[in-house]
Structure 1
Amino acid sequence: MGEPVAVSVVAQDPMLEAGVTVAVHGCPDVDVSPPGVPPAVTVVIVDELGEHELDLVRATRTAAHRPEVVLVATELTPTQALHAIATGARGLLRRRETDPDRLARTVLAAAAGDAAMPPDLLDHLLDHTAAHRPPGPAGLGLSDRERAVFRLVADGRETGEIARELSYSQRTVAGVVHDVTNRFRLRNRAHAVAYVLRAGLL
């Protein structure tokens, strides 16, 4: 097992920030970033998700060391989730559903380059985008294989898990993600998930 993933915690409520920091210390695979060590992942905890909070996510993501961002909010609507992902959040959690184990798993997924969000929120997003799917040439869409892979990527699954579930090799899964990311000129996996959801491609 490698070194724990270095994490920092940012919250609007100092007491909440302290509590989450203590919880992170109790997780074996993640730990609070020591002084002078840039975190690989920053957990941002907010109440409402508005422009100010999205600016905080954006500023955190574009810091000099460019940490991945896991956003924990009191409530998240599908529209808010899309805005958060487009702003740079790689993981999304609702506060009422977040315990130390789930937070740690989401942090580890973010550190590995995977995107994660609550399954019911993903379902809402898929329903919404399917209802608003724009017409266009088949060449601009996704193949059945690509849709299958991206449904699981959006659900926060890691490459190995996706490969096992779909009976593909890990190389095939990575290739699918790479092809879609390049085809639509996207920055990374999280941006690809946001794009395919917003464009109604799943």
Structure 2
Amino acid sequence: MGNPLPLCVVALDPLLEAGAVSALSGNPDITLVQPEEKADVAVVIFDRVGRRELDLVNATGTGPHRPAIIVIASDLSPAEAADAINAGARGLLRRNEVNADRLARTVLTVAGGDCTVPPDLIDGLLDQSTETDAQPGARGHGPDWGLDERERAVLRMVADGRETDEIAKELCYSARTVTTVVRDITQRFRLRNRAHAVAYALRTGLL
């Protein structure tokens, strides 16, 4: 086992902060640090998604240590999820779906460069990006920058944690075709791997 992952918890409500700290404190793979200390991951917790909360996400992620951000909120609509991602979140969780094990898994997943979004929000995020596509001058969209329908379908299932063979079977493609689609996306946008592709697509509005 390597060194424990340094993590901080940030919340506007001290009770929410205390609950997250309690849930994570017994995990041997994680060491809790203060928000002003160096952390690889920051868990940001709030009830509602508003301007104050999004500013907190942005400030935490753009601080001197630039941790990866996980947002935990009481509820998340697709529009709110898109706002949180645009503010810098790489992981999204609803409070009623979180337990100690799931939170710890999400922390380690995000620290590894992946992106975690509740499966039921994926379609809503696609709808959000489709609406953005229709707006003139939308950032990061256009024939040279967007994803076609096949690429969106594959990347959406990658974001949902599906393996290559599963994706191929459900979409009636060969496994080689799925691999080629993901490779083309990563090469086009100069990304490291499929996890990086999902995180990039969500954060830039391509997915």
Q: CA deviation at 1:12?
A: 1.6
1:71 corresponds to which letter in structure 2?
V
Give a deviation string over 1:156-182, Cα, whole Å, max 9, x none: x3xxx64464446xx968744532434
**Match for residue 186 of structure 2?**
178
Q: Quick one: which amino acid aligns to residue 38 of structure 2? A: P
Report the CA distance between 1:193 and its aligned residue.
1.7
Residue aligned with 2:189, SS? helix
Structure 1 runs of 4+ off > 6 angstroms?
171-174
Give how far 1:36 is off: 8.6
State the match for 2:201 in structure 1: 192
Task: Tell me the amino acid that sits aligned with residue 68 of structure 2.
Answer: E
Match of 1:104 in 2: 104
Aligned partner of 1:96: which letter? N
Q: Identical aligned pairs, as a percentage? A: 46
Shift of 1:126: 2.8
Answer yes or no: is 1:154 the counterpart of 2:159: yes
Distance 2:66 2:29 in 1: 20
C-alpha change, 1:90 and 1:62, in structure 2 (3 Å) is: same
- Provide structure 2 residue ranges, at least 5 long, that are not aligned to the other structure: 136-140, 168-174
Distance 1:172 1:112, change over 3 A: farther
1:59 is aligned to: 59
Contact between 1:154 and 1:193, CA under 8 Å: does it hold in 2? Answer: no
Answer whether contact 1:9 1:43 (CA < 8 A) is retained: yes
SS at match of 1:16: helix
Between the aligned partners of 1:134 and 1:180, the Cα distance in structure 2 is 22
Taking a change above 3 Å as real, the CA distance of residues 121 and 35 of structure 1, as seen in their structure-2 partners, is closer
Deviates more, 1:24-33 or 1:142-151: 142-151
Tell me if structure 1 keeps the 8 A contact 2:9–2:34.
Answer: no
Question: Matches of 2:44 and 2:36 in 1, distance apart?
Answer: 20
TM score, norm. by length of structure 1: 0.76
Report Cα offsets for 1:107-151 as digits up to 9, x if no partner.
112111111111111122234545775499765543566334421
The residue type paired with residue 152 of structure 2 is R
The AA in structure 1 aligned to 2:65 is H
Q: Unpaired runs of 5+ in structure 1? A: none
**TM-score, normalised to structure 2's length?**
0.74
Shift, 1:20, TM fit: 1.1
Alignment partners' CA distance in 2, 1:119 and 1:181: 24
| Partner amino acid, structure 2, of 1:142 | L
Maintained 8 Å contact 1:85/1:191: no
The 1:76–1:145 alpha-carbon spacing in structure 2 relative to 1, beyond 3 Å, is same
Q: Deviations over 1:11-50 (max 9, x none)?
A: 1221221221121122343331379961110000011111
Q: What's the Cα RMSD here?
A: 3.4
Deviates further, 93-102 or 139-148: 139-148
